[in-house]
């Protein structure tokens, strides 16, 4: 296979600090069919789709665990820890080039104890060795290949290596390990010490919040805006929902119309260009260019879940029809292609089908002409069947034109997309990554709640309730904690902080639209569990791993927001909300101390702290308590949500008098429904209509 150096650098060596990973997905089924059944290693007993793809390599792969580490100690061999995931194209390239080569495998088996890790199942291991490789090389990505002493301390690493270079490295490292062990030990020791520095939290003397800190952060961030195509002024472009959720909230509260325009421009481009599948719905992973045109065609659950929330919030504020269409189509895609049909959801769809990237999604002009028949010219007025829409090998990516003059454009677009969908259904489908992750499903739970708030579709509420039932029942451990994964009827990996924080957020959201206090108390139970098993008294932050799991060489604190918010920023926001709901001063103090400390880094890289900035914004602007009490509370809340976007507020309600929440005490009256708009427990006069409540809310903005 001929590999472009430029492509390798883009996919595999691009800095993780700008939210990237090599994510052109290879079909699971295609990979399995190419494996040699002559060889079987210890991965054959695993459930991870990624590990199973390597189960028939001639490499004697072992899963991470005590058995592999003990083997390395007994045989005095270094560890070769290779980390990837089923959605990583270059992981598969390296597998085919090196790990399926018997001669290369022989060297690996003789000199190393070889361990394969699925980074999505074991993000804790990935964090440790990604940090090490970034410290050694200044770059990171997947596949991640790290060499370590038998006790797990790394001493060398990198990402993708071509076969010749890989063999050279294997031999050199073996020679150094055998003949110069003191050098390896010294370097491993220094690197381990350096890795501990990554857990340091900034010191702060601030005890109060200042909007000027956010203003300075946003001012610096604005210099990287693409004012023509939206998003950042660079390629590749990742849709980072927490970035735009913060910018939207900030723009509304600070009356920054320029910022608001940038958010809406970005949302419009993302939903009409190649990043979005206009035929079948759903967002792909990221765009390789500045135009949101050419995606890596894989579709991830976590992207679509978060973008669902983002577009729902934007629709509540703007009522833009495109956003409504995007919400509805994305949900249709998720239910059609990622749902198991039993209340939980799978992880991803491949980019490749029939061994070709994007083949399922792209079109030749002749195909379009045949499907559309006499309507082709009209279709070309609505979509870019021109030089802009042309990709490679005479294939077109379906993208909408802006401001099309055609009459009945919306009806025509719907008709044309239905025709293409029916034709596309005859093609070979991309492969499915069928593992289920608690954290990603919880992001979808929040997405359904936001969609319900915006569109009022009761089916979205029902989906959210069913998903919450799966998370709270199937994914619950005996001690009240959460599992991370679910596959083939089994949940066997103890949950990480990301599983708890996103489940807590989803349950809070579900309470806000159902007023079922059980969800709020479940959220509080999980918050207490995280404080008991994840909280670090020394730093005031939460470790990514529980104190119940094996100890790695470093126990990480995840604080930087990326394509998914950092688990600590999510926990800080939830503790803030739960602290207000339950009048829990301890929750509020933990949350406040966390955000004040991390705010010291806001100006270093603004997009990396946007979820934190949302919490900071809640402290600098009036944070409202909006209570709806009475027999018609649910319907009134539904009406209120659909007619205003208020993110700096605590929503609560009851349709009966026996509420357990302090802020709802004495607010219920029979035969009437009132809305109470309050700040810091001081309420305006109760009102009985949504319009009156919106007027009261507007007085705080």
Per-residue burial over 437-446, b = 16 or more CB atoms within 10 Å of its CB, e = otherwise: bbbbbbbbbb
pLDDT value for 287:
96
Work out the pLDDT band at 353, boundaries 50, 70, 90: confident
Dihedrals phi, psi of 657, to nearest 5 degrees: -75, -20
Please check whether residue 205 lies inside any domain of the structure: no
Task: Look at the block and give the residue holding tokens 């993000």.
Answer: 123
Question: Are residue 158 and residue 51 in the same domain, yes or no?
Answer: yes
* pLDDT tens-digit map of 161-178: 999 999 999 999 999 999
Please check whether residue 206 lies inside any domain of the structure: no
Work out the pLDDT band at 36, boundaries 50, 70, 90: low
Pairing state between β 348-349 and 352-353: unpaired
Which of the residue ranges 17-26, 200-209, 381-390, 615-624 would you say has the lowest mean pLDDT? 17-26
CA 270/CA 292 separation, integer angstroms: 6
Answer whether 471's CB lies under 8 Å from 422's CB: no
pLDDT value for 296:
86
Residue 404 has pLDDT above 90, yes or no: no
The domain spanning residue 552 has which CATH number?
1.50.10.10
Nearest 5 degrees, angle CA 355-CA 360-CA 365? 115
Residue 386 has pLDDT above 50, yes or no: yes
Last residue of a domain, one of 568, 583, 615: 615
DSSP letter, residue 345: B
Instruction: Report the 10 Å Cβ neighbour count for 187.
Output: 16
Last residue of a domain, one of 171, 197, 223: 197
Which of the residue ranges 73-82, 264-273, 399-408, 456-465 would you say has the lowest mean pLDDT? 399-408
DSSP letter, residue 279: T
Predicted model pTM: 0.92
Residue 280 has pLDDT above 70, yes or no: yes
Please check whether residue 356 lies inside any domain of the structure: no
Dihedrals phi, psi of 432, to nearest 5 degrees: -115, 130
Q: Measured between alpha carbons, how far is residue 145 from residues 3, 433, 451 in Å? A: 19, 22, 40
Q: Quick one: what percent of the chain has pLDDT higher than 90?
A: 85
Tell me the residue range of the domain where 404 lies: 361-426
Please check whether residue 259 lies inside any domain of the structure: yes
Instruction: Report the 10 Å Cβ neighbour count for 341.
Output: 6
Q: What is the DSSP string of 237-252?
A: B---HHHHHHHHHHHH
Question: Are residue 380 and residue 418 in the same domain, yes or no?
Answer: yes
Taking each helix axis from N to C end, the angle separating 163-179 and 102-111, rounded to the nearest 10 degrees, works out to 20
Dihedrals phi, psi of 398, to nearest 5 degrees: -70, 120
Please check whether residue 215 lies inside any domain of the structure: yes
Question: Are residue 610 and residue 644 in the same domain, yes or no?
Answer: no
Question: Are residue 280 and residue 367 in the same domain, yes or no?
Answer: no
Please check whether residue 685 lies inside any domain of the structure: yes
Nearest 5 degrees, angle CA 430-CA 435-CA 438? 130
Strand partners, 687: 675
Work out the pLDDT band at 350, boundaries 50, 70, 90: confident
CA 423/CA 629 separation, integer angstroms: 51
pLDDT value for 20:
30
Residue 129 has pLDDT above 80, yes or no: yes
Question: Are residue 471 and residue 598 in the same domain, yes or no?
Answer: yes
Strand partners, 148: 79, 154
Task: Look at the block and give the residue holding tokens 């401001």.
Answer: 403
Question: Are residue 366 and residue 338 in the same domain, yes or no?
Answer: no
Q: Prior bond to 231 cis, omega within 30? A: no
Question: Are residue 537 and residue 590 in the same domain, yes or no?
Answer: yes
Question: Are residue 441 and residue 536 in the same domain, yes or no?
Answer: yes
Residue 5 has pLDDT above 60, yes or no: no
Answer whether 655's CB lies under 8 Å from 670's CB: no
pLDDT value for 559:
96
Please check whether residue 77 lies inside any domain of the structure: yes
Question: Are residue 442 and residue 411 in the same domain, yes or no?
Answer: no
Work out the pLDDT band at 4, boundaries 50, 70, 90: very low
207 vs 263 pLDDT, higher one: 263
Work out the pLDDT band at 8, boundaries 50, 70, 90: very low
Residue 497 has pLDDT above 90, yes or no: yes
CA 383/CA 390 separation, integer angstroms: 11
Residue 303 has pLDDT above 60, yes or no: yes
Question: Are residue 548 and residue 639 in the same domain, yes or no?
Answer: no
* pLDDT tens-digit map of 42-75: 999 999 999 999 999 999 999 999 999 999 999 9
Residue 324 has pLDDT above 50, yes or no: yes
Question: Are residue 91 and residue 128 in the same domain, yes or no?
Answer: yes
Residue 166: Cβ-neighbour burial (10 angstroms; 0-12, 13-18, 19+):
buried
Per-residue burial over 65-91, b = 16 or more CB atoms within 10 Å of its CB, e = otherwise: eeebbebbeeeebbbbbbbbbbbbbbb
Question: Are residue 523 and residue 569 in the same domain, yes or no?
Answer: yes
Residue 575 has pLDDT above 80, yes or no: yes
pLDDT value for 356:
84
Q: Measured between alpha carbons, how far is residue 80 from residues 12, 177, 349, 408, 601 in Å? A: 18, 13, 29, 60, 35
Please check whether residue 204 lies inside any domain of the structure: no
Taking each helix axis from N to C end, the angle separating 211-222 and 257-272, rounded to the nearest 10 degrees, works out to 50
Q: What is the mean pLDDT of residues 94-101?
A: 96
pLDDT value for 17:
30
Phi-psi region for residue 586, left (φ > 0), alpha (ψ -120 to 50) or beta? alpha
pLDDT value for 31:
40
The total domain count for the chain is: 4
Q: What is the mean pLDDT of residues 593-598?
A: 97
CA 380/CA 369 separation, integer angstroms: 10
Cα separation of the two ends of the chain: 59
What is the helix (H) or strand (E) element at residue 473, kind and residue range?
Answer: helix 458-473
CA 171/CA 167 separation, integer angstroms: 6
Last residue of a domain, one of 409, 426, 443: 426
pLDDT value for 2:
27
The domain spanning residue 53 has which CATH number?
3.40.30.10
Report helix, strand or coil for 117.
strand
Q: What integer best gives the mean pLDDT of the chain?
A: 92
Work out the pLDDT band at 25, boundaries 50, 70, 90: very low
What residues contact 72, with CB distance under 8 A and at least 6 apart?
A: 78, 79, 113, 150
The count of C-alpha atoms lying within 13 angstroms of the C-alpha of 195, restricted to the half-sphere facing its C-beta, is 24
pLDDT value for 604:
93
């Amino acid at each position: 296979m001929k590999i472009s150096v430029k492509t390798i650098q883009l996919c595999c060596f691009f800095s993780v600090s700008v939210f990237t990973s090599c994510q052109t997905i290879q079909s699971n089924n295609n990979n399995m069919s190419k494996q040699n059944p002559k060889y079987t290693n210890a991965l054959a007993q695993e459930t991870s789709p990624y590990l199973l793809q390597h189960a028939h390599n001639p490499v004697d792969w072992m899963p991470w665990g005590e058995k592999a580490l003990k083997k390395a100690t007994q045989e005095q061999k270094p560890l070769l820890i290779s980390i990837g995931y089923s959605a990583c194209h270059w992981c598969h390239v390296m597998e085919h080039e090196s790990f399926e080569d018997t001669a290369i495998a022989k060297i690996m088996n003789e000199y190393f104890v070889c361990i394969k890790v699925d980074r999505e199942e074991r993000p804790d291991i990935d964090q440790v060795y990604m940090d090490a490789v970034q410290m050694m090389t200044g770059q990171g990505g997947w596949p991640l290949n790290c060499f370590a002493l038998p006790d797990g301390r790394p001493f060398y690493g990198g990402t993708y290596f071509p076969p010749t270079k890989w063999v050279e490295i294997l031999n050199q490292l073996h020679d150094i390990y055998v003949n110069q062990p003191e050098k390896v030990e010294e370097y491993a020791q220094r690197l381990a010490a350096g890795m501990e520095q990554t857990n340091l939290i900034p010191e702060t003397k601030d005890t109060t919040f200042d909007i000027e800190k956010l203003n300075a952060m946003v001012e610096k961030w604005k210099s990287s805006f693409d004012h023509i195509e939206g998003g950042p002024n660079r390629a590749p472009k990742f849709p980072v929902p927490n970035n735009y959720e913060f910018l939207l909230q900030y723009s509304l509260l600070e009356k920054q119309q320029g910022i608001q325009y940038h958010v809406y421009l970005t949302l419009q481009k993302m939903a009409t260009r190649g990043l979005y599948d206009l035929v079948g719905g759903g967002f792909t992973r990221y765009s390789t260019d500045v135009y949101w045109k050419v995606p890596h065609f894989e579709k991830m659950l976590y992207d679509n879940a978060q973008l669902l929330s983002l577009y729902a919030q934007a629709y509540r504020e703007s009522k833009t029809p495109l956003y409504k269409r995007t919400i509805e189509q994305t949900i249709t895609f998720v239910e059609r292609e990622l749902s198991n049909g039993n209340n939980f959801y799978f992880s991803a769809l491949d980019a490749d089908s029939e061994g070709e990237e994007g083949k399922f999604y792209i079109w030749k002009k002749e195909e379009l002409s045949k499907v559309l028949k006499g309507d082709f010219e009209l279709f070309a007025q609505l979509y870019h069947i021109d030089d802009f829409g042309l990709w490679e090998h005479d294939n077109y990516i379906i993208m909408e034109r802006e401001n099309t003059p055609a009459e009945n454009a919306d009806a025509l677009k719907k008709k044309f997309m239905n025709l293409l969908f029916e034709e596309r259904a005859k093609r070979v489908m991309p492969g499915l990554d069928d593992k289920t992750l608690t954290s990603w499903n919880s992001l979808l739970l929040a997405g359904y709640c936001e969609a319900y708030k915006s569109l009022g579709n009761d089916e979205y509420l029902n989906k959210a309730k069913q998903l919450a039932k799966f998370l709270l029942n199937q994914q619950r451990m005996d001690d009240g904690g959460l599992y991370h994964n679910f596959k083939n009827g089994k949940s066997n990996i103890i949950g990480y902080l990301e599983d708890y924080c996103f489940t807590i957020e989803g349950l809070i959201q579900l309470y806000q639209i159902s007023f079922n206090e059980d969800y709020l108390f479940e959220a509080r139970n999980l918050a207490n569990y995280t404080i008991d098993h994840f909280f670090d008294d020394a730093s005031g932050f939460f470790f990514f791993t529980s104190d119940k799991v094996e100890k790695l060489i470093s126990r990480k604190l995840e604080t930087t927001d990326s394509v998914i918010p950092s688990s600590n920023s999510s926990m800080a926001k939830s503790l803030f909300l739960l602290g207000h709901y339950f009048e829990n001063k301890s929750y509020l103090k933990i949350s406040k101390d966390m955000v004040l400390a991390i705010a010291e880094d806001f100006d270093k890289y603004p997009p990396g702290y946007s979820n934190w900035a949302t919490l900071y914004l809640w402290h600098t602007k009036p944070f409202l308590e909006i209570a709806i009490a009475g027999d018609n509370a649910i319907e009134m809340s539904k009406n209120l949500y659909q007619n205003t976007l208020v993110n700096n507020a605590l929503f609560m309600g009851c349709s009966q008098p026996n509420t357990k929440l302090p802020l709802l005490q004495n607010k219920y009256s029979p035969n009437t429904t009132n809305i109470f708009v309050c700040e810091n427990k001081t309420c305006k006069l109760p009102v009985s209509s949504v319009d009156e409540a919106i007027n009261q809310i507007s007085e705080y903005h």
